[in-house]
Amino acid sequence: MKVVTPEISWHERDPIYSVDFQPGRWPIQRLASGGVDKIVRIWQMKVDAEGKGDFEFLSNLRRHTATVNVVRFSKNDTAIILWKKSDVPTPANNIFADDEVDEDKESWVCHKTLRGHLGDVADLSWSKDNRYLVSGSVDNSAIVWDVVKGSKIAMFTEHKSYVQGVAFDPLGNFVATLSADRSLRIYNTNSKMCVNNVSKLSVPTVAPTGADGNQPPNSQPEVKAKAFRIFHDDSLRSFFRRLEFSPDGQLLFTPAGCMEAAEKFMNASFIFARGAFSRPAVYLPCGEKSSLVVRVNPQLFQLRPVQNLDCE
C-alpha cells in the first residue's frame, strides 16, 4: 500500500473538522471537507496510471453560519443543511467575496434544512437506504430524522453530556450513540428504546491474601470481579468521539476507550459484535494518545500474490 499526502491548502490555515468521500464504485468522484471557516468545499479526486492521487477544487458551499463540525454524503451550526448538486449555475451574490477565492466549477443548492437541536451538531450518520439520518449534538441529545418529510421521528435524551458520535446500523435495526458522559448507548429503531447502556467492564482479578501482599503457597487464589470505566471522561480534549458500524452491520467500532490492566492505564478502541453489544469483543491499543474517530474502509482488499522465486 502506498500513502501520499496531497500538498493542498484545503481551508487556508483554518482547522478541518470533517472529511467524507462520496460513496460508490471506484474511482471515487468527490470529497467533501468542512471546518472552522464555515464553508463546505467539494473536491474531485483523480488517480493517475501509477496510482498517485490528486485533488481538484469544485465548489464552495456557503450557507452555514457557524463552524462545520461534520460532513457526510448520502449514499444516494444548530441546523443540518442538506445539499444536492444542481445543473443550474449558482449566481455570485456576495459582493464582498475575496477575489482570490477559486471559482466554483460545480453548482450546489440547499436542498433541505433540519432544525431541532438546541446546540451545535457534532456528528451525522445516514441509514443505508438514505431515507433516515441520525444526528448527535452538544445539547446532550440524538435525533433520528425522516429526510424525505424533513421531520423528527425519534429523539434520544438519556445522555448526561455531549453526544459526540452517532452511527446508523446498516441493517436498519439500531442506532448507536457515544457521549462525553462515558457511555455507549444502543437504541432499537422500532421501539425507540435504549436496549444497551455500556459504560463499565467487569473482569476477574486475583487478589493476594498473604500479610505481605503475596499469595501463600498451597493456597487457593481468591478471584474477584473488578469493574472499571471503558471510555474517557469529559477531560478528553475533543469535540468528537465518532464511531461506526462495519458495512455488513456485524461489528461496531468505538473510539475514546480506556483499559486498566495490572495497574496500568491504556488507551484503546473497542470492537463490539452484533448480538453482544453489552461488552466489547476486542480491544485495540492506541498508544499514548486516545483515538477520536473510527472509519471503516468499504473497499475489500486482497493480498498481492507473491511469485515463488527459486533460490540457487
Q: Report all structural domains of the chain as residue ranges with CATH numbers, in order of start.
A: 9-115 (no CATH), 123-297 (2.130.10.10)
pLDDT at 100: 46
Under the banding of pLDDT at 50, 70 and 90, the label for residue 301 is confident
| One-letter amino acid for residue 167 of the chain | A
Q: Which residue has the higher pLDDT, 254 or 25?
A: 254
pLDDT at 206: 64
- Whether the pLDDT of residue 256 is over 70: the answer is yes
Nearest-angstrom CA–CA distance, 278 and 183: 11
- Mean pLDDT score across all residues of the chain: 84
Q: Which three cell numbers stand for residue 78?
A: 444548530
The 8 Å CB, 24+ separation contacts for 98-106 are 101/60, 102/57, 102/60, 104/58, 104/59, 104/60, 105/56, 105/57, 105/58, 105/59, 106/42, 106/58, 106/59
pLDDT at 63: 78
Nearest-angstrom CA–CA distance, 144 and 153: 6
Contact 31, 43 (CB under 8 A): yes
- Whether the pLDDT of residue 72 is over 70: the answer is yes
SS3 content of the chain, % helix, strand, coil (to 5): 0, 45, 55
Nearest-angstrom CA–CA distance, 275 and 267: 25
pTM (2 d.p.): 0.77
What average pLDDT does range 176-200 have in this prediction? 97
Nearest-angstrom CA–CA distance, 258 and 149: 40
- Whether the pLDDT of residue 26 is over 70: the answer is no
Cis peptide before 208 (omega within 30 of 0): no
